[in-house]
Amino acid sequence: MRKSTSVAVAAALLLSGVSAAAAASHMTKAGDTLNLSATQQKEIWKDLRLHATNQPAPSGFNAAAGQAIPSGLSTYPLPRQAARDVPAVKPYRYAMTQDKVLIVNPSDKKIADVVTKGS
């Protein structure tokens, strides 16, 4: 009885570890850089052009990857369609200013990528 219980516990632990590892592999975490391809950038622009509001930027602000967004800019969750079309952006938020879509890491508010209409 004791041996079968030990085997059952070991099997349960093994299976739960596999389940946790499988779940972790499907979850993505936002980083400070995101290198979207030209095709992905076009999809993002297409998906966000109707949702995004072009917010005024502080004078002297030039949007670039790695830069923190100004405190006056609001960020928003990406629309479901954008996350479906480009799954890599799912953990990020976005803001639009200077006719550019800023893909923003929500944890540190840094710009991971900049998407322009002509991208």
Q: Buried b / exposed e across 77-114, counting CB within 10 Å, b at 16+?
A: ebbeebbebbebbebbbbbbbeebbbbbbeeebbbbbb
R_g of the chain, CA atoms, integer Å? 20
DSSP letter for each residue of 29-61? ---S-----HHHHHHHHHHHTTT--EEPPPTT-
Which H/E stretch holds residue 113? strand 111-116
Please report the pLDDT score of residue 2 as a whole number: 52
What's the pTM value of the predicted model, to 2 decimals?
Answer: 0.72
In this structure, CATH architecture of domain 30-116: Roll (3.10)
Number of neighbouring beta carbons within 10 Å of residue 62: 9
Please report the pLDDT score of residue 35 as a whole number: 82
Residue 104: strand pairing partners: 93, 111
Please report the pLDDT score of residue 11 as a whole number: 44
Which H/E stretch holds residue 114? strand 111-116
**Which residues of the chain carry a pLDDT beneath 70?**
1-32, 119
Domain residue extents for the chain: 30-116
Question: For residue 97, which amino acid is it?
Answer: T
Please report the pLDDT score of residue 32 as a whole number: 60
